[in-house]
Amino acid sequence: MTATARFIGLISGTSVDAIDAVVVEFRPEPIVLAATAVRYEPQLRARIVDISTGGGNIRLPELGALDTRIGLAFAAAANAVAQLAGLATTDIRAIGSHGQTVWHAPTGAHPSSIQLGDPNIIAEHTGIDTVADFRRRDLAAGGQGAPLVPAFHAAFLGSSTEDRAVLNLGGIANLSLLPANGEVRGFDTGPASALMDNWAMQCFGVAYDDEGRHAGRGRVDAQLLDRMMGDTYFARAAPKSTGRDHFNMGWLASMIGEQQLGAEDIQATLLALTTRSIAEALQREAPLTRRLLVCGGGAHNVALMRALSAALPDTSIESTAAHAIDPDYLEATAFAWLARETLAARPGNLPAVTGARGPRILGAVYQA
């Protein structure tokens, strides 16, 4: 493998808003040559959200068909981004596909994590070797299978002169703690955009609360906020990870109960939940953090970024764009890098982050 090998990275996160696709050239630092976000067909997206939140049963014939449909969608996204970059199939070393998570249950007697988007379909319809199924090797080694991106954060966003953290504001928020000296750690802090997006769709008929405007018109309800923060997940020690299987609209309904609140007040309280859970986690786990680098769709939520700045007055908060990594495509870039690590027979997990028994080479390779 040459030092400047090109890879495609693919992921659709817990927000299920689109398939993020990038072409990355490693020199060895990652240079994004092209990037795009390909939205799911609306009915397909609705079904993915339904089953991933436990709101709908699924039979095996539909599960198989869904795996194929998502695989076709991922393949189309890979072909689109390669065309956007002006590259032929032979110009791409491999695709790193995270797939679409529909279930993540990393604890209990039989831990599991399910990502759909058949990599055989991707390899067949792109003509490019595909690396996929990154999470389950870490699970098999006793880890959470998540988060996996902190290894990428540590490789390209760390500093030897200051303690940093990277905050990904997707459907779920996760922190990577990057001390100037010491071990890299990381974990999911709780919900970021997923609950706010779902509430915005249900109450305001929009896919997301643009710049946090609805939240900005509401008032935080302290009683509801305290009740939500009382969920045992927030106090649980890392390693830990979560998803829509836990923080979903059923969970929110159970927290609201019989309390009568305006829609914008609930939106404001959900934003406060994201802010408080992140700030408390950072202050508890890495109080010397001086710079917080933010990525993910939530980085565009003006009200949320303002709230985080107020909650963390001693921490400089800035986009990963200030460090030459597009905040909208960081995770896709990370899975391109993880594919590179797999093909080089290098471990992709950080045991201190996931709780695995040791470093593991992640994923399986599906030949074109």
**Residue 63: left if φ>0, alpha if ψ -120 to 50, beta else—which one?**
alpha
pLDDT at 303: 96
pLDDT digits (tens, 9 = 90+) for 105-114: 999 999 999 9
pLDDT at 352: 94
Q: Which of 191, 212, 352, 341 minimizes the C-alpha distance to 268?
A: 212
Q: Which of 1-5, 6-10, 190-194, 235-239 has the lowest mean pLDDT?
A: 1-5
pLDDT at 265 over 70: yes
pLDDT at 15: 83
Mean pLDDT (whole number) for 347-361: 97
What is the secondary structure of 171-203 as a DSSP string? SEEEEEEE-SSS--EEEEEEESSHHHHHHHHHH
- 3 state SS of 125: helix
pLDDT digits (tens, 9 = 90+) for 22-80: 999 998 899 999 999 999 999 999 899 888 876 667 899 999 999 999 999 999 999 99
Q: H helices within the chain, ranges in order? A: 42-52, 60-84, 119-126, 135-140, 150-157, 194-204, 213-217, 222-229, 232-235, 249-256, 263-285, 302-311, 330-343, 351-354
Percent of the chain with pLDDT over 70: 98
pLDDT at 188 over 90: yes
pLDDT at 102: 92
pLDDT at 49: 87
Residues 319, 327 contacting (CB under 8 angstroms): yes
C-alpha distances in angstroms, 246 versus 16, 56, 240, 354?
Answer: 16, 14, 13, 18
Q: How big is the CA angle at 70 (ends 192 and 207), to the nearest 5 degrees?
A: 35
pLDDT band at 244 (very low <50, low <70, confident <90, very high): confident
pLDDT band at 269 (very low <50, low <70, confident <90, very high): very high
Residues 166, 332 contacting (CB under 8 angstroms): no
pLDDT at 56: 64
pLDDT at 52: 84
| Confidence (pTM) | 0.92
Phi (first) and psi of residue 5, to 5 degrees: -60, 145
Q: Which of 290, 197, 294, 299 minimizes the C-alpha distance to 249?
A: 197
Q: Average pLDDT, whole number, for the chain?
A: 95
pLDDT at 55: 61
- Domains of the chain, first to last: 6-145+329-366 (3.30.420.40), 150-323 (3.30.420.40)
Interacting residues of 355 by C-beta distance below 8 A, sequence separation 6+: 142, 143, 144, 239
Residues 103, 115 contacting (CB under 8 angstroms): no
pLDDT at 262: 97
Q: Give the integer Cα–Cα distance in Å for 209 and 215.
A: 8
What the block records as the tokens of 215 is 């939240």
What the block records as the tokens of 54 is 């436990």
Pairing of strands 112-116, 30-38: unpaired
Mean pLDDT (whole number) for 97-120: 95
pLDDT at 3: 56
pLDDT at 293: 98
Mean pLDDT (whole number) for 80-90: 96
For the packed helices 194-204 and 249-256, what is the interaxial angle rounded to 10 degrees? 80
